[in-house]
Structure 1
Amino acid sequence: MRRDEIEGMVDRIIGSMRTLGAEAGGLKEDCPISIIDMNKWEWPQGVGLFALYLYYKETGRQDILADLIGWFDSRISEGLPDKNVNTACPMLTLSYLAEETGSPDYLALCREWARYLMEAMPRTEEAGFQHTVSGHLNEGELWDDTMYMAVLFLARTGIVLKDDSCLQESIRQFLVHLKYLTDPRTGLFYHGWSFERNDHFAGALWARGNAWYTAGLVDYLDMAPLPEGVKLFLLSSLERQVRKLAELQTEEGMWHTLLDDPSSYVETSATAAFAYGMLKAVRRGYLDGRYRASGLKALHAVVGQIDGEGVVRGVSYGTAVGHTLQQYKDIPLCPMPYGQSMALLALVEGLKHLEDERAAE
């Protein structure tokens, strides 16, 4: 694809993300706060906002920055929801805007929400962040989503506030989650762990949950100055995960929503996040160059899921930890902010690799 084609697709994706509403796909939502409507404050919107911020930093587009500031100012004036793992996600972008704009109000909110995570967030055994969400305490449960939704913000705010305790806590959370969620047979990650039952629920190796690590780690390493031993450990987990992902990738370049179950549907948001994480990790030198082909193959598959209006298709709705594998297969598909945002990031990252290819010709 040419640069102008990719840039046109990116603009359409952003335009579609801005107008996502609770009526998308005719789906009746089951979450207390809409996770489709971009004018609400929840985790999918947080993922979308962070992708938009990264795109702004890549391009310098002031209209994107103005939209982000306008979004936060509107939500803050409306009143923010209760604090939990998922509602912490938009705070990651706010931590960058606080630094960029110098707004004392933004900075105060970052400090308040970081203090909640450090001092009031419900914990599991070994002090893991209990995956408490809007409407559900999920007592004694670790979910792989938590690392992206809350821990990235905590690390980033530690940098902004010059509070090393936040950074150290982010390291602990990554290590505790990897300890209990890593499947030692494959290097993939289980969706969740219950300290109350001492099991991994249905034992689901869920694609998007895995993708939160693949896509999240490369950005975590950008924002957090880690001890070398910790960095090497996290990267070895990434390499082992990606090695297995390359084996499980479909001929078309996608991944199934249950990674090891070909009878489950292929899912676009996870595929886009894997593409982004793999390609950025290769470019940064975190992964061997042989994984570049898998990332580009995934990117081309994602492009095939983007319609003429910029809507990313084949994206599964929000997914709680399942007690049966069938629950994952039954999650409906509809346009979601995280599908739009991960496709955006994958396209922008892929453009760098395509340009490298042309430069080498």
Structure 2
Amino acid sequence: MKRNDLLSLFEKVSYRMQNLENETGVSEVCPISIIDMGTWEWAQGVGLYGMQKYYAETKNQNVLDFLTGWFESNIQKGLPEKNINTVCPLLTLTYVYEYTQDKRYLDICKEWAEWVLHDMPRTEEMGLQHIVSGVENDGQIWIDTLFMTVLFMARMGKLLGRQDYVAESIRQFLLHVKYLTNKKTGLFNHGFDFNGRHSFGEIQWARGNSWYTSGVVDYLDLLGEEHQGVKGFLVDTLLAQIKALEHYQHENGMWHTLIIDRESYVEASATAGFAYGILKAVRMGYIPDKYRECGMKGLNAILERISEDGTVTEVSYGTAISDSLEDYRVVPICPMTYGQALTLLLLTEALKLEDLYGN
């Protein structure tokens, strides 16, 4: 596949995401839609981040116009209540601020970063409680938080030279790894409840795991050279996860929605996130080159699941935490913004595979 073919594919996937609606009629359980691209939630935040990555790679003005238009529309409507998930779009807004130098965007980011640092509900040991739209999740930490909020805090720390923001991001990564790592597999449990001191059945959910794989490789870009110890720890954790992912990868290149449950369905958004993180980790020299094949299998599996109109197929709907495996097995499949977006991240990484995808 040539570079121009990848660019064309990105345009199709991106256009589909920008115009995504609930065509399948799936019953949305989230108070704010995570399907409609026009709303402000975590799913749309991931979508915006994928488009920002593409803009950084290509400087396609149409992409920046969409991003600025999206933020202007939502700012005019009024931003939602602050929580873990509604922070997610701000990660992209920090970049849009840099591109446009519109101080309004930076002011919003500053306000929300201060709220995260000082006012966001906390668990024991100062973990960011996974409060979401409509649900407090008292005492709970989820692996999702690292992508949805902690990346933003690290990015703000770098942007503003705020070492307290960077320090907070480090604490959250270390705390989440401490409580969510499954010692038997090297994968991550979905969450931990400090109130009941339990891990919700130690369920190793694929997309949750992919938030670490795809997020940590970008997080490492944000940490300065003075944090080599933390970087080494996070890379070692990533390598342990990828060793397990290689073992559990389906022969078709995908991963099951319950990674170690080969009877659960294979799922595309997690596969895209895994492939992105693995291929970038190899390119950056974080993990041995032998894992490249694992990432390439994932990439090729996703390429096969992009339909003619740009829809990424076999994506599961938003998934609340549970101690029941069956609750994860029955989550419906439908087109989702984050399925499109994680595919966009993967495609931007594929653009860097010069030896395989030439001009």
Decide: shared fold, TM above 0.5: yes
1:203-226 Cα shifts (integer Å, max 9, x gaps):
210000000000001111112326
CA contact (8 A) 1:194 1:200 kept: yes
* Matching residue's letter, 2:317: Y
The equivalences for 1:150-299 within 5 A come to 150-225=149-224, 227-299=227-299
Q: Distance in 1 between matches of 2:80 and 2:54?
A: 26
192-201 or 98-107, which deviates more: 98-107
The equivalences for 1:269-348 within 5 A come to 269-348=269-348
Q: Distance in 2 between matches of 1:77 and 1:221?
A: 34
* Matching residue's letter, 2:83: N
Q: Distance in 1 between matches of 2:71 and 2:233?
A: 35
* Matching residue's letter, 1:260: I
Cα distance, 1:102–1:351 mapped onto 2, change above 3 Å: closer
CA contact (8 A) 2:350 2:357 kept: no
Could you say what secondary structure the match of 1:193 adopts? strand
TM-score, scaled relative to structure 2: 0.98
1:6 Cα offset (Å): 2.0
CA contact (8 A) 1:41 1:87 kept: yes
- Structure 2 counterpart of 1:13: 13
* Matching residue's letter, 1:53: Q
Q: Distance in 2 between matches of 1:33 and 1:86?
A: 11
Q: Distance in 1 between matches of 2:351 and 2:288?
A: 19
The equivalences for 1:15-54 within 5 A come to 15-21=15-21, 23-54=22-53
Cα distance, 1:177–1:4 mapped onto 2, change above 3 Å: same
1:358 Cα offset (Å): 6.7
Cα distance, 1:358–1:277 mapped onto 2, change above 3 Å: closer
Q: Distance in 1 between matches of 2:3 and 2:153?
A: 35
- Alignment gaps of 5+ in structure 1: none
Cα distance, 1:331–1:358 mapped onto 2, change above 3 Å: closer
101-110 or 141-150, which deviates more: 101-110
1:181-235 Cα shifts (integer Å, max 9, x gaps):
0011111000000011111112210000000000001111112326110000000
CA contact (8 A) 2:305 2:314 kept: yes
Q: State whether structure 2 residue 54 is matched by structure 1 residue 55.
A: yes
CA contact (8 A) 1:10 1:347 kept: yes
Q: Distance in 2 between matches of 1:51 and 1:358?
A: 20
* Matching residue's letter, 1:39: G
Q: Distance in 2 between matches of 1:109 and 1:212?
A: 25
Could you say what secondary structure the match of 2:192 adopts? strand
1:304 Cα offset (Å): 1.1
Q: Which runs of structure 1 show a deviation greater than 3 angstroms over 4 or more consecutive aligned residues?
A: none
1:102-141 Cα shifts (integer Å, max 9, x gaps):
2111111011000110010000000000000000000000
- Structure 2 counterpart of 1:349: 349
CA contact (8 A) 1:315 1:335 kept: yes
Could you say what secondary structure the match of 2:141 adopts? strand
Q: Distance in 2 between matches of 1:106 and 1:38?
A: 20
Cα distance, 1:173–1:76 mapped onto 2, change above 3 Å: same
CA contact (8 A) 2:3 2:357 kept: no
Q: Distance in 1 between matches of 2:311 and 2:132?
A: 27
CA contact (8 A) 1:156 1:224 kept: no
Q: Distance in 2 between matches of 1:232 and 1:283?
A: 16
CA contact (8 A) 1:99 1:160 kept: no
- The alignment yields a C-alpha RMSD, in angstroms, of 1.1
Task: Give identity over the alignment, percent.
Answer: 51
* Matching residue's letter, 2:103: P
1:357 Cα offset (Å): 3.7
Could you say what secondary structure the match of 2:351 adopts? helix
1:162 Cα offset (Å): 1.8
The equivalences for 1:123-138 within 5 A come to 123-138=122-137
TM-score, scaled relative to structure 1: 0.97
1:9 Cα offset (Å): 1.4
Q: Distance in 1 between matches of 2:215 and 2:281?
A: 11
CA contact (8 A) 1:296 1:350 kept: no
Q: Distance in 1 between matches of 2:124 and 2:186?
A: 23
The size of the alignment, in residue pairs, is 357
1:273-295 Cα shifts (integer Å, max 9, x gaps):
10100001100111110010000
